[in-house]
Structure 1
Amino acid sequence: MQAEGRAPGVREVAAAAGVSRQTVSRVLNDHASIRPETRARVLAAMEELDFRPNRAARMLTTARSRTIGVLASSASSLFGPASSIDAVEDAAREVGYAVTVAHAASLEPFDLGAALDHLRAQAVEGVVVIAPQQRVQDAMAHLALTVPSVTLHGAGDAADEGVFVDQLRGARLATRHLLERGHRRIAHLAGPGDWSEARARREGFLAEMEAAGADAVVSREGDWTAASGAEIGAELVADASITAVFASNDQLALGVLHAARLAGRDVPGDLAVVGFDDIPEAAFFAPPLTTVRQEFAELGRRCVARLVALIEGGDLAFEEPVAPVLVVRESS
């Protein structure tokens, strides 16, 4: 009889399914010897009892934690990194892995190492490194990882093996969109140069402008915030010859919209604005923002698929990066 207040365990599941505790353990460990009808009976008993396997107990019997660690930098509250963490958690859950997240207190090697130590203490089988800043990537190269790892937020190096969004392509899509609407002097409101995505978006903008023989303007670097976008945007909209701005993210673009309104420049009448990310609020800006959407769900799926392949003794590389999508709204 189950003790009052105690969660059901293997014993109760075995009794409800009419099998031995060893059979329940074999079902939990996905043992090949279990007949389909027996597996179905045990799973039905688990569902009926609302049984939740004890991960620590399973680790004792299988020597596996089935846990993935996520090392996140101090910038993980921003839309891109936060969305990446959510995507990894969702994808890991789909394939039967738990996720534990360690946030580094700073970008210094000591704090990154401390976050890694925290993950090691959880017996993670692999690590996803969400490292948008170049200095995090540089520091990680000198830290010893004893388990497989995959880095998110690469910008297209060969080692990224398809686990990244094609930032260069996204920037070219945004810039080409403005060029096709007749703009010839376009400004790019740049993101922080320490971020690989910001550098890739700048490079994509310049490449597309050069290919079109158009006049490119690159601002000083912003810090991803709307306040930064408004400050730098005020400098850009003061130049009447600039008829379009491609901002490195949607928050910067929001600042540009604010600066344009203060300067009396109509959007999109005499200034077109395009962002990058497609944050949930972008469709509700005034006017709604044209932007480049990153498919974070696909990015998370690829990341987890590659990491699980490495954990389980295989390998998996994707030939093409995750393709971005241009979302056209009223601001352009």
Structure 2
Amino acid sequence: MITIDDVARKAGVSIATVSRVLNNLENVSEKTKMKVWKAIEELNYKPKILASALARHKKKFKVGICESDRLIKMEKENISPEFYSVILTFLEKIGEEYGIEFCKTKLLTPIECDGYILVGGDTTKETVKYYKDIKKPFLLLDHYIPGEKVNCIVTNGYDGAYYATNYLIKKGFRRIFHIHGPLNSYGFKGRFEGYTTAMHQANLLPKYYEYDDVKDNMEDVIEFMIKKDGIPEAIFASNDITAMRVIRELKKRNFKIPEDVSIIGFDDILSAKEFEPPLTTLKVFKDEMGSLTAKRMYELLIGHDTHPVMISLFTKFIKRKSSI
């Protein structure tokens, strides 16, 4: 019989750390959590958590993780897998303890399930109407659509961007530019607005440039930025992948980071710490997003507290070496 001791040995951590991971407690890094969950999966260990809830509701559920064609394409091309891979790892592990079996399906052509989790910023009002008509529980993960009162789990990008921009302003920077993703995404839009508000409150002029991570047009973005507005003192990027691409392009042009340009990203994906230079960023609590999504979906499946809610997680500023 596999025990928690076996999991701890395989993951190379203490039993207490395994226990903290299983109970989703603080003070355990995402990297360590991923190691523990990998050990649990490889050993096929079945932790006895949430037993009382499962005892009351023994029914097994099948829930579709619905991804857009754009997100599926990005995953296949390994463009930006880290953010959602961490969230979905914790979603699936916590969901298993509630008797939920997950399967991936397409956003616009879902397979038959008991409920659905719509992933990312490609969900539209038309898509929401489609799922409402199915009359099965569903929620939005990492997205919100104004006016659509549906369950959603999001990150408070506005607050994080506002904090990061003010951090740069307090460092004495005035030429702070923002490079963002498509603004139909609630996450990118919130970060855009947080940056804008902070700049306006400081009587500074916001400067924006849009980056297409699928086409990867960063070279053109940087060329246009320099030609149109000159060299910034700092750049706030709407996610870490964008920030890393900015740094690579600036390095090609012999700019030193952060001596010439300070860079701040958003998300704190696993590779942000190992990047050169290590990336200053806003940490999104991806493990908790996954856990909260699983718990909320379970509530909806059993008909508990069904009135729609928005759960918004604050970020945490992580200072590293890509910014002064």
Question: Equivalent of 2:212, from 223, 230, 234?
Answer: 223
List alignment gaps of at least 5 residues for structure 1. 1-49, 52-61, 105-111
Question: Equivalent of 1:264, from 254, 261, 264?
Answer: 254
Query: Aligned residue for 2:314?
Result: 323
Question: Equivalent of 1:151, from 123, 130, 140?
Answer: 140
In the alignment, the residues of structure 1 paired with residue 213 and residue 141 of structure 2 have an alpha-carbon distance, to the nearest angstrom, of 19
TM-score normalized with structure 2 length: 0.71
State the superposition RMSD in angstroms. Answer: 2.7
1:235–1:258 Cα change, 3 Å: farther
TM-score normalized with structure 1 length: 0.69
Query: Aligned residue for 2:276?
Result: 286
Query: Aligned residue for 1:85?
Result: 88
Question: Equivalent of 1:128, from 96, 102, 117?
Answer: 117
Query: Aligned residue for 2:66?
Result: 71
Deviations 1:158-207 (A, max 9, x none): 73556211111121122122112111111100211332222221111101
State, as a whole percentage, how many aligned pairs show the same letter.
23
Offset at residue 241 of structure 1 (A): 4.9
Query: Aligned residue for 2:163?
Result: 173
Letter in 2 for 1:329: R
**Relative contact order: is structure 1 or structure 2 higher (C-alpha 8 Å, sep ≥ 6)?**
2
In the alignment, the residues of structure 2 paired with residue 244 and residue 160 of structure 1 have an alpha-carbon distance, to the nearest angstrom, of 37
Q: Does 1:139 align with 2:127?
A: yes
Letter in 1 for 2:194: G
1:226–1:294 Cα change, 3 Å: farther
1:180–1:197 Cα change, 3 Å: same
Q: Does 1:312 align with 2:307?
A: no
Matches within 5 A, 1:15-164: 64-74=59-69, 75-76=71-72, 77=75, 78-79=80-81, 80-104=83-107, 112=108, 114=109, 116=110, 118=111, 120=112, 124-135=113-124, 137-143=125-131, 144-155=133-144, 157=146, 159=149, 163-164=153-154
- Partner SS state of residue 192, structure 1: coil
Q: Do 2:114 and 2:301's aligned partners in 1 also have CA atoms closer than 8 Å?
A: yes
Q: Do 2:176 and 2:206's aligned partners in 1 also have CA atoms closer than 8 Å?
A: yes
In the alignment, the residues of structure 1 paired with residue 151 and residue 173 of structure 2 have an alpha-carbon distance, to the nearest angstrom, of 35
- Partner SS state of residue 313, structure 2: coil
- Partner SS state of residue 326, structure 1: strand
In the alignment, the residues of structure 1 paired with residue 175 and residue 259 of structure 2 have an alpha-carbon distance, to the nearest angstrom, of 15
In the alignment, the residues of structure 2 paired with residue 214 and residue 172 of structure 1 have an alpha-carbon distance, to the nearest angstrom, of 14
- Partner SS state of residue 232, structure 2: coil
Question: Equivalent of 2:177, from 183, 187, 198?
Answer: 187
Query: Aligned residue for 1:15?
Result: none
Q: Do 1:165 and 1:322's aligned partners in 2 also have CA atoms closer than 8 Å?
A: yes
Q: Do 1:131 and 1:153's aligned partners in 2 also have CA atoms closer than 8 Å?
A: yes
- Partner SS state of residue 312, structure 2: coil
